[in-house]
Structure 1
Amino acid sequence: MSNKKLLILFFHPRFEDSRVNARLVEGVKQLRDITFRDMYELYPDFNINVEFEQAQLLAHDIVIWHHPFYWYNCPPLMKQWLDLVLEYGWAYGKNGNKLSGKWAMNVISSGGNFNVYQKEGRNRFTHREFLNSFDQTAHLCQMEYLPPFIVPGANKLSASEIEDYMIRYTQIVHFLMNEQIDIEKLKLVENFNQLNADQWEHQFYKMQ
């Protein structure tokens, strides 16, 4: 069976100031058989080429929205991309089934740690709960929404901690592309941070 084709759409308006994302991007850009696109570099004027973006989605099986977690949401260019590219009659609605069966997930860097993203914490909701709008977007487009991967407390991480998150990110990409995954089982997980990379194959490998 051939590998799945994976597209990483990276949205960061201040990429030059982000130690964490610089290392994450450096790691995944070296991987084979993925397509990485720095969207703020490509569209500094927000003038998105809708047809080209739709063609990119059609050419890939998995899309990763990689972005900082701004005000419990995404940067403005990503919102613009969602609004324009996922058109009615193409991605959803009547005859809108072009993305049916594809997978989507968020990879986010967050200023807050997990302890502030919980019911009893300052932000009252988990990261996963705040990402429900992306889950619903994927659902409306007949896509499978995967557990997010979160880099919490991003502004305070040491170089070694950042390296660990980069390694984990590349492991996730390899896992998604190469394994026969039981998607229904995987969707029950809160986030990829909870998974032990050494056990992924045993927990989520689809038996033949």
Structure 2
Amino acid sequence: MDADTPSPRPSIYVVAAHPHWRDSRVTRRLFDATRALDHVEVTDLYASYPDFHIDVAAEQARLSAAQLVVWLHPIQWYASPALHKLWLDEVFTHGWAYGRKGQALRGKDVWLVTSTGGAESAYHPQGYNRYFFDAFLPPYEQTAALCGLRFLPPLVLHGAHQVDEPDLRDHVDVFVQRLQSYPDWPEIEDMTCPGCEVPDQDRPSTGGQT
């Protein structure tokens, strides 16, 4: 490549999940903002898989082509929406996403972009959620670590039902700017991903379940 030719932007895959788009103030705006970005591929899980039958091969191909995977969804009952969890269960398979032979995602990045109905003050030992919001992130972080993904600092908007329009516009602008500037984020320059090796005997090749 010529020295004066800019490097192509890394491919980004946004996995969006919201079971009730008509009721969405924040996730819908972020989802719509991605459509103008030519280096970003977006899948609306609830529109693509209304019967919950996920095309695993297609999803794995999209993940293989991307350098950054964005999980875009609201927090519901302290976790992701049901179809996003099913997507993880079926797509992040042993021997592909993790395990001794599962190297397909190793070295890529994952970014959680989410929102909560409750205000930030609700995520506090004296608030009704009893814990700081970070206490609910370990399942995301460990999923990333198990697959060799680098878990980037999440983008979180609290109080989604009450946020005013100027603050919501600012939030969308930050989201778009981050996608456009990836991977040139100063705070992730020295971030690494811990290694997590899963013994083969913990995942029977017969497909049996615990």
TM over 0.5: yes
Trace 1:132-171 onto structure 2 (pairs within 5 A): 132-171=138-177
Counterparts of 1:70 and 1:121 in 2: how far apart (Å)?
A: 17
Q: Which has the greater radius of gyration?
A: 2
The 8 Å contact of residues 150 and 191 in structure 2, kept in 1 or not, is answered as no
Tell me if structure 1 keeps the 8 A contact 2:13–2:69.
Answer: yes
Distance in 2 (alpha carbons) for counterparts of 1:105 and 1:132: 14
| Pairing 1:52-67 to 2, within 5 Å after superposition | 52-67=58-73
1:120: how far off?
3.4
1:183 to 173, 177, 188: 188
- Deviation at residue 185 of structure 1 after TM alignment: 4.0
Cα distance 1:121–1:180, how it changes in 2: closer, same or farther (>3 A)?
A: closer
Q: CA RMSD in A?
A: 1.7
1:70 and 2:76 correspond: yes
Distance in 1 (alpha carbons) for counterparts of 2:176 and 2:16: 15
Q: Which residue of structure 1 aligns with residue 22 of structure 2? A: 16
Please give the secondary structure, in 2, of the residue aligned with 1:155: coil
Answer whether contact 1:28 1:169 (CA < 8 A) is retained.
Answer: no
Aligned residue-pair number = 186
Q: Of Structure 1 and Structure 2, which has the larger fraction of its residues in helix?
A: 1
What is the TM-score of this pair, normalised by structure 2?
0.83
| Alignment pair present for 1:121 and 2:133 | no
Please state how far the C-alpha of 1:129 moved relative to its aligned partner.
2.2
Query: Contact 1:101–1:143 (CA<8 Å) still a contact in 2?
Result: yes
Shift of 1:24: 1.6
* CA shift in 2, pair 1:125/1:186, >3 Å: farther
* In structure 1, C-alpha distance between the alignment counterparts of 2:19 and 2:134, rounded to whole Å: 23
CA shift for structure 1 position 109: 1.5
Amino-acid identity (%): 37
1:180: Cα distance to partner? 6.8
Q: Is the 8 A contact 1:104 1:145 kept in 2?
A: yes
Deviating beyond 3 angstroms after TM superposition, the runs of 4 or more aligned structure 1 residues are 184-187
Supply the distance in 2 between the matched residues of 1:157 and 1:95 (Cα, whole angstroms).
45
48 and 18 in structure 1: CA distance in 2 versus 1, 3 angstrom threshold: same
Equivalent residues in 2 for 1:74-85 (5 A)? 74-85=80-91
User: What is the CA distance between 1:17 and its match in structure 2?
Assistant: 1.4
Please tell me the residue identity of whatever aligns with 2:66. H
Distance 1:181 1:61 in 2: 17
Unpaired runs of 5+ in structure 1?
188-208
Q: 1:97 to 1:31 in 2, by over 3 A?
A: same
TM-score by length of 1: 0.84
Deviation at 1:3, TM superposition (A): 1.7
Contact 1:58 1:98 in 2 (8 A): yes
1:94 aligns with 2:100: yes
